Structure 1
Amino acid sequence: MPAPRPLSVFIGDDFTGASDTLATWARSGARAKLFLDPAEAERASGDLDVIGIATELRGLPAERIRARMPDIAAPVARLKPRYVHYKVCSTFDSGPDTGSIGAAVSELERALDPELTLVLGGQPSLRRYCLFGNLFAGAADGQVYRIDRHPVMRRHPITPMTEADLAVHLAAQGLEGLVSVPFTGIAAGPDALHALLDQARQQDSRRLLLDAASAADIRVIGQALKRLSGYRPVLLIGASSVAEALGSSASGLMPGITAPAAGAPSGPCLVVAGSRSAVTEAQVDAATLFDKFPLLPGMLNEPERLEALVECVSTGLAEGRNVLAHTLPGTDYRMDASALTARLVDFVAAVLARAPCGRLGVAGGDTSSAICQKLGFSALEFASDLDPGVGLCIGHHSDPALDHMELMLKGGQMGRPDLLDRFARGSGK
């Protein structure tokens, strides 16, 4: 007897976003699990409503994304989900050469032949809004900015956002022909939106860009998607707002299982902050429950100094102290972002090879992805919420020393100032 068809498969272009989508589905009552290996995801699919696949595509050149995607898409196609969600950052930061959303989606379309390709432009729950196809995002100062004028995202070190019109932004990456469905049309309700989507899939215009300016828009989109029926999947591109929409309208989900409980920390806490955003900088400054180690350029560039740092951090963990190692915003590390990430990954692997830790926190999407892959986790399950956009997960690993480690993988822009201390205490409050 064939395995049940999952409702949705989501492919996270980095680990922080993938863990947030996992948390969003878990809150809706879905049986959901996040895998690092697409083949393992296919093998373990039988008792799951929602299957996640975490990748590091956001940090890769476009040609490597195109080369990787067939190995990801093939097992997804065999699972025959009703929806396939390519999970991207809520700020859509990407480019034609790095983290190309267009390259990934084009390959998914080739492999899946979807009924429709829909870009969901906003996530109001995280103060990301899409109006008439233009993306806006809240900032740490409490203001909302058009994304190309956002104080952080317009200066992103790898993929600065210089275009707010998402159709123009994605067309530059090869995802052309997006037809805008403004929030004024979505406000007409799920019947009208369903009729529009149904008409689009019967015509040549199968790529649509949906606005999202409010939680009500997300609910309407979910209700309209639920009414679409077909053998081929619907391909959705967006942040965790896609899971919010589908989860709010889904019926027939298996009874949600109890998430692995996250109680008092089982050992000391290690946090590595690779993000150099102002939000993460404020969290590092506010942390009081850690021995702090600023990662100076010389430490990461000179093997002897790096070895000494590993020894100090390992000793602190072995003695039961929480440790926070962090990069310094505005500092010239004399290497590009990918090389800096690689040094941080090697640092974490060396520390954990010497000293156990109960909880591992990583700030920064690319850093999170690389560290989880280096450490060899096979899957993640959601445990509890820490902040909007930040969840606590339980890692599964073949090594008993790492199995069931509690993980916080957060994007640079996510979390309140006291997040790191709450993570160390084992409390989301």
Structure 2
Amino acid sequence: MKLGCIADDFTGASDLGNMLARAGMPTTLCIGVPPGGRVPDTDAAVLALKTRSLPVADAVAQSLAALDWLRAQGCTQIYFKYCSTFDSTPKGNIGPVLDALADRLGARRAVVVPAFPGTGRRVFMGHLFVNDTLLSRSGMEDHPLTPMTEPDIRFWLGLQTEARIGHVSAEIVRGGSAAIRAALDAAEAEGLRYLVVDTVDDRDLEAIGAAVADDALVSGGSGLGLGLPANFAAKPGQGVPWQGRRGRAAALAGSCSRMTQQQVARHAMHAPVVRLDPVAVADGRQTVAEVVEWVMAQREDDVPLISSTMPADALAAVQERLGRARSAEVLEVFFGALASALVARGIDRLVVGGGETSGAVVSALGISTARIGPQIAPGVPALAPEDGHFVCTLKSGNFGGPDFFGDAARVLAGGAP
């Protein structure tokens, strides 16, 4: 094994696995740290943790356990993967996890590359944009767990670590990998440990990837995965043919992002949708059993959608009544139990939207490893759990086009992306 990746949530892990596999690097997705032995013969492993919203001590402990396992497999480079919108809080764990990984590896520097141009996430002058809008005005400021109110990644990361933070400008990046490497070397010599690198398009990712070929530790969103496989002699186009499954499908949407709201509204125009009321779920008036029966009563060629998506004002009202932590927990438990019940009833294609929701579903279904299938949308691959009798996809809330749920069900059945 050559490249070891530690992802702070499940959707991000599948996203990164997608990038590496599409670039020709045989990749295995592991849910958590494998309990023992080695994963199947592979060049890269992505360990999907659920640490994004955990307290610092817990996130650091889990990340170091993942690091130790990856090093035992022979990995020569470690990739800490967080969200392309840098989801965290001023007291978040991205900085502390970076510190812990760098200390354990003896790494004097690490790039910070959250950008993913293919999904509209770009960094310029150290500031993160979503399409043409600053991160803090993109809707991420309303995220229920990690509201992003500051677009300057240098400043935000600086709230989480005592390490010195530098910046590699777009002008330097456009000079190519040699220029980037020289800038990184100079910054390291000045005592700067983390370098936020401007990234506008895929050419920048390729140049950055080449520049960090010899670095023990790198960090970023999944976009950086585009630039690393060439360092390991990977060739695009390699992979196992995707067969898919053609049984019944269902979709679960737990994200409250603007994009997911649009996708749910679009899907409701031509497919059955049931909306969850977190308060009704919490007091037992809306149950898993009744939702399962509703799904099974739909036409077999439909893609019924169960959604807890709601606009920011409605979400605020729910959180006011139940509390932020309780409202999230209630829905995660519900979606996990629902996914298990649906698969038990013969649903063999699951489309899941939302990072926390995906984590709950994966845990409930007991998925340990999965093969990366074709890309459904930028950052979103099809997944075939090892030894499973179903296929699925895990989508970050903001990813995918307006017709994502229907498109995903088609690809999971073996259709064209």
Q: Percent identity?
A: 28
| Alignment match, 1:169 | 156
Give the deviation of 1:407 after TM superposition: 1.0
| Alignment match, 1:55 | 49
CA distance in structure 2 between the partners assigned to 1:72 and 1:188 by the alignment: 35
1:216-365 superposed matches below 5 A? 216-226=203-213, 228=214, 234-247=216-229, 249-253=230-234, 258-263=239-244, 265-287=245-267, 290-303=271-284, 305-313=286-294, 315-316=296-297, 322-330=303-311, 331=314, 332-333=317-318, 334-335=321-322, 336=324, 337-349=327-339, 351-352=341-342, 354-365=344-355
Give the deviation of 1:256 after TM superposition: 6.9
| Alignment match, 2:104 | 111
Query: Which structure 1 residue ranges, 4+ long, deviate > 4 Å from structure 2?
Result: 199-203, 254-257, 317-321
What one-letter code is carried by the residue in structure 1 that aligns with 2:278? P
**Structure 1 residues 85 and 384, CA, compared in 2 at 3 Å: closer, same or farther?**
same
Is residue 416 from structure 1 mapped to residue 396 from structure 2 by the alignment?
Answer: no
Return the match for 2:363 from 348, 373, 388.
373
Give the deviation of 1:255 after TM superposition: 9.2
CA distance in structure 2 between the partners assigned to 1:405 and 1:101 by the alignment: 33
Q: 80-89 vs 251-260, which deviates more?
A: 251-260
State the Cα RMSD in Å: 2.5
Answer yes or no: is the 8 Å Cα contact 1:56–1:370 preserved in 2.
no
| Alignment match, 2:383 | 393
Is residue 43 from structure 1 mapped to residue 38 from structure 2 by the alignment?
Answer: yes
Give the deviation of 1:370 after TM superposition: 2.0
Give the deviation of 1:70 after TM superposition: 2.7
Give the deviation of 1:253 after TM superposition: 3.6
Q: List per-residue Cα deviations over 1:57-108 (Å, max 9, x = no partner).
A: 112222321232332221123234232111111111211445x211221221
Q: List per-residue Cα deviations over 1:268-327 (Å, max 9, x = no partner).
A: 112110011221122112225643211123441232531552442453379675321001
Answer yes or no: is the 8 Å Cα contact 2:276–2:286 preserved in 1.
no
| Alignment match, 1:149 | 137
Answer yes or no: is the 8 Å Cα contact 1:260–1:394 preserved in 2.
no
Answer yes or no: is the 8 Å Cα contact 1:313–1:351 preserved in 2.
no
TM-score by length of 2: 0.88
Question: Which runs of no fewer than 5 residues in structure 2 stay unpaired?
Answer: none
CA distance in structure 2 between the partners assigned to 1:216 and 1:255 by the alignment: 16
CA distance in structure 2 between the partners assigned to 1:234 and 1:341 by the alignment: 39
CA distance in structure 2 between the partners assigned to 1:12 and 1:327 by the alignment: 25
1:74-85 superposed matches below 5 A? 74-85=68-79
What one-letter code is carried by the residue in structure 2 that aligns with 1:10? C
Answer yes or no: is the 8 Å Cα contact 2:163–2:192 preserved in 1.
no
Give the deviation of 1:243 after TM superposition: 0.6
Give the deviation of 1:8 after TM superposition: 1.3
Corresponding residue SS for 2:260: helix
Q: List per-residue Cα deviations over 1:389-412 (Å, max 9, x = no partner).
A: 221111124xxxxx0421110011
1:114-153 superposed matches below 5 A? 114-138=107-131, 144-150=132-138, 152-153=139-140
| Alignment match, 1:70 | 64
Q: List per-residue Cα deviations over 1:114-137 (Å, max 9, x = no partner).
A: 253111142222211111211111
**Structure 1 residues 193 and 315, CA, compared in 2 at 3 Å: closer, same or farther?**
closer
TM-score by length of 1: 0.86
Corresponding residue SS for 2:18: helix
| Alignment match, 2:373 | 383
Matched residue pairs, number? Answer: 404
Corresponding residue SS for 1:358: strand
Answer yes or no: is the 8 Å Cα contact 1:16–1:410 preserved in 2.
yes
Answer yes or no: is the 8 Å Cα contact 1:13–1:56 preserved in 2.
yes
| Alignment match, 1:184 | 171
Corresponding residue SS for 1:173: coil
**Structure 1 residues 323 and 379, CA, compared in 2 at 3 Å: closer, same or farther?**
same
What one-letter code is carried by the residue in structure 2 that aligns with 1:207? Y
Return the match for 1:26 from 9, 14, 21.
21
CA distance in structure 1 between the partners assigned to 2:368 and 2:301 by the alignment: 27
Q: 310-319 vs 188-197, which deviates more?
A: 310-319
Give the deviation of 1:353 after TM superposition: 6.2
Answer yes or no: is the 8 Å Cα contact 2:114–2:220 preserved in 1.
yes
CA distance in structure 2 between the partners assigned to 1:175 and 1:148 by the alignment: 23
Corresponding residue SS for 1:384: strand
Corresponding residue SS for 1:58: coil
Corresponding residue SS for 2:103: helix
Corresponding residue SS for 1:43: coil
CA distance in structure 1 between the partners assigned to 2:236 and 2:399 by the alignment: 30
Question: Which runs of no fewer than 5 residues in structure 1 stay unpaired?
Answer: 1-5, 139-143, 398-402
**Structure 1 residues 348 and 166, CA, compared in 2 at 3 Å: closer, same or farther?**
same
Return the match for 1:12 from 1, 4, 7.
7
CA distance in structure 2 between the partners assigned to 1:254 and 1:78 by the alignment: 26
